[in-house]
Structures are given as C-alpha cells and as structure tokens.
Amino acid sequence: MLPKIKVFSWRLGYDLLPTYDSITRIRQNFSNTCPRCNNNEETIIQVMKYCPVSREILTLGDLNNKLLEGNYDCCIDWLENVLCMLDAKAADFFTLL
C-alpha cells in the first residue's frame, strides 16, 4: 500500500484531516460550510459519508448501499462499520492503524 494512503487512513481514523470545521477552531473568521454542497459543516464524517458528492461515489461501490446506512457522529464509528464489510486484509490494515 502506498505510504500516502497509509497516512491518509491514519489521519482519517484520528480525526486529523484539515476540514473547514477544524480550521474554524484556529481561524475565527473562516466559514466551516462544505464547499461541495454548501449545506452542512465540513467535518470528516460529513465529507466521507453525508456530503451528496460522497454519497454518489459510495453508491457506485457495489456494496448495496451498506456504506450509507446508519447515522454516525464520529468518523471512526463509521469506519469500524465499514471494516466489517471489507475483506480481512483491509480490516487488518485499519486495525493496525
């Protein structure tokens, strides 16, 4: 697996990606609205699961929309559910993170 994919996965699991929501904690006059859909705050779970653009991509994943089921507040909870649907090798990788 490419190192940048490992780093992205690690940052995703630990909620360390630079979303607009995390930037607003540092910069007061910064909008945290998602630039893709302009509907919600741009948090990691919103970017990965709830944004209409992300939902479209996840629908194409041929997992019978199982990645779209359930409501989650934290990305790590959603990732744990996704891991239950992936093969053992992918699950082992995320468990290692």
In 3D space, the residue among 72, 97, 69 whose CA is nearest the CA of residue 5 turns out to be 97
Residues 6+ apart with CB under 8 A from 62: none
The proportion of the chain whose per-residue pLDDT surpasses 70, expressed as a percent, equals 84
pLDDT (tens digit, 9 = 90+) per residue, 42-55? 998 888 888 888 88
pLDDT band at residue 66 under the 50/70/90 scheme: confident
Please state, in angstroms and rounded to a whole number, the distance separating the CA atoms of residues 27 and 11: 21
In 3D space, the residue among 37, 47, 41, 39 whose CA is nearest the CA of residue 17 turns out to be 47
In this prediction, residues 8-13 reach a mean pLDDT of 85
pLDDT at residue number 91: 60
Please state, in angstroms and rounded to a whole number, the distance separating the CA atoms of residues 33 and 45: 14
Please state, in angstroms and rounded to a whole number, the distance separating the CA atoms of residues 36 and 87: 31
In this prediction, residues 6-16 reach a mean pLDDT of 85
